[in-house]
């Protein structure tokens, strides 16, 4: 994600806290200054930056450190919590009433990503097992219907629209008749108008006529803190139920957009992170911050695994979380993530893999994975179960068997130890501190 830069500057700021020999007022002040700089660079509004820094500083310096955690950990926890709060409440998922269809209407200015995200959302809910349809209510832009038709066909979602129609209200009414037994109908609206006022007028009319269960505003994340004005203008016209911030893959100003929108109090429900139909994520502030800071986001990963319909038997998941993580498990984990989309993105969600891996390494990761696969295949069951038994003679046999080098085998084992350690840490800290630390973090802090 292009929020990478924000992530890595925040990460660097926190790393200093880990490295400093004492955590005192000076450390906290420096941390706060570093965070300010990082946020400002991501186009976060100055007032918002001052607000969050004040809270972090106050809590970090004055709050009593709870028993069982160090001051160092407490400071990090405060940063994590405040950043999470900064990005708003955890959004409520849509509530379906049985037997009733849920109408979700997308609104937003031209080019914000409505049509693309109508398809992404359709796919998202389809994968959750719902019966989905889309309606093209953009009667202005030539080609709007064809664009949505193409996208909908690709994901096998029925579409209603009429490229010749002039009145979006009629189109939607017709469309709703076509889809009596759907769980959710997503309405894509026009963004192309001479003036914003006209667009807003149409949106109001549509809202009155259709009575959608939820109006979701689509905002282009690349506009940074200007998102605030846009969200406010729309909200004043029609109460916006939720927000979807798009193009966070291509923007250094995403932090600005997200924080500005969160400041309006409207919940950000989803973020768009690419042009492909899978590039959508439910937005959950705590997870998002976790990943931004390189904490390796187990929850998101697990959700993706579930979505990709990779069955990790519950027994096995439990075994892994209880500390029994073998090379076979690692192998399966890598295999599983392979089918889950751009490898680099998925890899970043694995614990301990999120930071400190240079880009070129991530890019060759797929090739490396293939070598690791062969190496693990060349091992005996007892070695896969307990890699500690791999001594130098066993090591040589594996190298020969896999037709690889000693370096590769060592690297694989190192990676294994690291992932295992991360999983153990997650287990130990469960419910205490959501902070896992990424690769490159001093993991042996007290
Ligand atoms: N990189 C990236 N591109 C996106 C994303 N969402 C949309 N786009 C691109 O942005 C452009 C505009 O997207 P549309 O979905 O057509 O926008 P729209 O809001 O429907 O536009 P109008 O119908 O003209 O109002 C397209 O080229 C999309 O591929 C995203 O999350 N990331
Ligand atoms: Mg469109």
Ligand 1: which of 105, 107, 113, 117 to mutate, judged by most atoms within 8 Å of the beta carbon? 113
- Whether the CB of 220 sits within 6 Å of ligand 1: no
More confident residue, 85 or 424: 85
Which pLDDT value is given to residue 380?
A: 92
Could you identify the atom of ligand 1 that is nearest to the CA of residue 147? 16
221 Cβ below 6 A of ligand 1: no
**What is the distance of C-alpha 8 from the center of its chain?**
16
Residue keyed to tokens 């009155």: 208
Mean pLDDT, range 119-140, rounded to an integer: 95
pLDDT higher than 80, residue 182? yes
Pick the ligand that lies closest to the CA of residue 136: 2
- Choose one of 1, 111, 217, 281 to mutate for the ligand 1 pocket test, by most ligand atoms within 8 angstroms of C-beta: 111
Mean pLDDT of 252-261: 85
In this prediction, residue 374 has a pLDDT band, given cuts at 50, 70 and 90, of: confident
What confidence tier does 436 reach under pLDDT thresholds 50, 70, 90? very low
The predicted pLDDT at position 62 comes to: 94
Cβ-in-10-Å burial (0-12, 13-18, 19+) of 211 comes to exposed
- Residue in this structure with the two tokens 């937003």, named with its chain if needed: 108
Considering only residues 252 and 220, tell me which one the structure prediction assigns the higher pLDDT. 220
For 190-221, what is each residue's pLDDT tens digit? 987 667 788 888 889 999 999 999 999 999 99
Q: How far is the CA of 303 from the centre of ligand 2 (A)?
A: 29
DSSP 287-355: HHHHHHTT---HHHHHHHHHHTT----HHHHHHHHTT---HHHHHHHHHHHHTTS-HHHHHTTSTT-SS
Whether 189 is in the pocket of ligand 1, judged by its Cβ within 6 Å, is no
Ligand 1 atom at minimum distance from 274 CA: 32
Nearest ligand 1 atom to alpha carbon 118: 15
**For residue 246, which atom of ligand 1 is closest to its CA?**
31
Inter-CA distances, 27 with 1, 31, 61, 68, 379, Å: 29, 6, 10, 21, 48
pLDDT band at 440 (very low <50, low <70, confident <90, very high): very low
Query: For 337, phi and psi rounded to 5 degrees?
Result: -70, -20
Q: Name which of 12, 91, 53 is nearest 270 in CA terms.
A: 91
**Residue 187: beta bridge partners?**
105, 135
Distance CA 170, CA 206 (A): 10
How much distance in Å is there from the Cα of 207 to the middle of ligand 2?
17
Please give the full DSSP string across 407-420, using - where no structure is assigned: HHHHHHHHHHHHHH
Q: How far is the CA of 223 from the centre of ligand 1 (A)?
A: 13
More confident residue, 367 or 152: 152
pLDDT tens figures, 53-79? 999 999 999 998 877 667 887 888 788
Neighbours of 372 (CB within 10 A): 24
CA 250 to ligand 1: nearest atom: 1
pLDDT for res 176: 95
pLDDT of residue 342: 55
254 close to ligand 1 (CB < 6 Angstrom): no
Q: Which ligand is nearest to the CA of 117?
A: 1
95 vs 178, which has greater pLDDT? 178
- The answer, as to whether pTM is greater than 0.75, is no
The protein residue whose alpha carbon is closest to atom 21 in ligand 1 is 111
Q: Quick one: pLDDT band at residue 135, thresholds 50, 70, 90?
A: very high
Residue of 3, 107, 115, 116 best suited for mutating to test ligand 1, as the one with most atoms within 8 Å of CB: 116
- Pocket of ligand 1 contains residue 138 by CB under 6 Å: yes
Per-residue pLDDT band for 308 (boundaries 50, 70, 90) equals: very low
User: To the nearest whole number, what is the mean pLDDT of the chain?
Assistant: 81
Report in angstroms the alpha-carbon separations of 6 from 10, 254, 265, 268, 357: 6, 9, 23, 19, 16
Rounded distance from Cα 49 to ligand 2 centre (Å): 34
- Please report the sign of the dihedral spanned by the C-alpha atoms of residue 369, residue 375, residue 378, residue 382: negative
Q: Can you tell me the distance from the alpha carbon of 446 to that of 69, in angstroms, rounded to the nearest whole number?
A: 9
Please give the helix or strand (H or E) that residue 360 lies within, else none. Answer: helix 359-363
> Cβ(189)–Cβ(206) under 8 Å?
yes
**Using the 8-state DSSP alphabet, how is residue 264 labeled?**
T
pLDDT at 235 over 80: yes
Question: For residue 111, what pLDDT is reported?
Answer: 93
Largest CA distance in the chain: 77
Q: What is residue 272's three-state secondary structure? A: strand
Q: CA-CA distance, 66 to 277, in Å (whole number)?
A: 45
The predicted pLDDT at position 444 comes to 26
N-to-C CA span, the chain: 32
Ligand 1 pocket member 352 (CB < 6 A)? no
| Residue that wins the pLDDT comparison between 380 and 336 | 380
Angle subtended at Cα 214 by Cα 186 and Cα 272, rounded to the nearest 5 degrees: 60
Contact of 89 with 66, CB cutoff 8 Å: no
Q: How far apart are CA 13 and CA 35, in angstroms?
A: 7
Query: pLDDT category, 323, cuts 50, 70, 90?
Result: low
pLDDT at 245: 94
Instruction: Return the H-helix or E-strand segment holding 59.
Output: helix 46-62
Ligand 1 atom with the smallest distance to the CA of 117 is 15
For the ranges 239-253, 367-381, 429-443, the lowest mean pLDDT is seen at 429-443
Cα–Cα distance measured from residue 212 to residue 101, given in angstroms and rounded to the nearest whole number: 10
Radius of gyration of the chain (CA): 24
Q: Is 23 helix (H, G, I), strand (E, B) or coil?
A: coil
pLDDT at 309: 36
């Amino acid at each position: 994600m292009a929020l990478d830069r924000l992530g890595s500057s925040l990460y660097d700021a926190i790393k200093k806290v880990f490295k400093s020999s004492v955590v005192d007022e000076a450390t906290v002040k420096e941390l706060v200054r570093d965070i300010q700089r990082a946020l400002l660079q991501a186009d976060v509004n100055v007032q918002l930056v001052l607000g969050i820094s004040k809270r972090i500083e106050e809590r970090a310096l004055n709050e009593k450190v709870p028993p069982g955690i160090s001051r160092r950990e407490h400071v990090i926890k405060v940063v994590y919590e405040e950043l999470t709060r900064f990005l708003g409440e955890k959004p409520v998922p849509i509530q379906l009433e049985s037997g009733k269809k849920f109408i979700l209407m997308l609104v937003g200015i031209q080019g914000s990503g409505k049509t693309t995200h109508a398809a992404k959302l359709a796919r998202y809910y389809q994968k959750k097992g719902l019966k989905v349809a889309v309606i093209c209510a953009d009667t202005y832009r030539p080609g709007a219907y064809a664009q949505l038709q193409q996208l909908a066909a690709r994901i096998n979602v029925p579409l209603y629209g009429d490229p010749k129609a002039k009145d979006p209200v009629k189109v939607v009414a017709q469309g709703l008749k076509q889809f009596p037994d759907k769980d959710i109908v997503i309405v894509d609206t026009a963004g192309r108008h001479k003036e914003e006022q006209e667009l807003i007028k149409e949106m109001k009319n549509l809202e009155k006529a259709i009575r959608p269960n939820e109006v979701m505003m689509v905002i282009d994340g690349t506009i940074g803190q200007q998102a605030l004005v846009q969200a406010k203008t729309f909200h004043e016209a029609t109460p916006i139920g939720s927000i979807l911030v798009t193009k966070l893959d291509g923007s250094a100003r995403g932090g600005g957009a997200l924080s500005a929108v969160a400041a309006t109090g409207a919940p950000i429900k989803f973020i768009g992170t690419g042009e492909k139909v899978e590039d959508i994520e439910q937005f959950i502030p705590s997870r998002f911050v976790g990943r931004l800071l390189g904490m390796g986001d187990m929850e998101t990963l697990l959700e993706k695994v579930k979505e990709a319909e990779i069955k990790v038997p519950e027994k096995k998941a439990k075994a892994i979380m209880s500390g029994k993580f073998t090379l076979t498990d690692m192998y399966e984990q890598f295999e599983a993530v392979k089918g889950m989309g751009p490898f680099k993105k998925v890899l970043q969600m694995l614990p301990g893999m999120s930071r400190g891996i240079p880009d070129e390494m991530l890019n060759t990761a797929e090739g490396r994975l293939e070598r690791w696969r062969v190496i693990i295949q060349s091992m005996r069951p007892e070695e896969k179960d307990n890699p500690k038994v791999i001594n130098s003679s066993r090591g040589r046999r594996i190298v020969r068997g896999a037709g690889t080098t000693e370096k590769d085998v060592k690297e694989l084992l190192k990676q294994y130890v690291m992932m295992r350690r991360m999983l153990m840490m997650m287990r130990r800290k469960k419910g205490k501190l959501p902070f896992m630390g990424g690769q490159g973090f001093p993991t042996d802090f007290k």
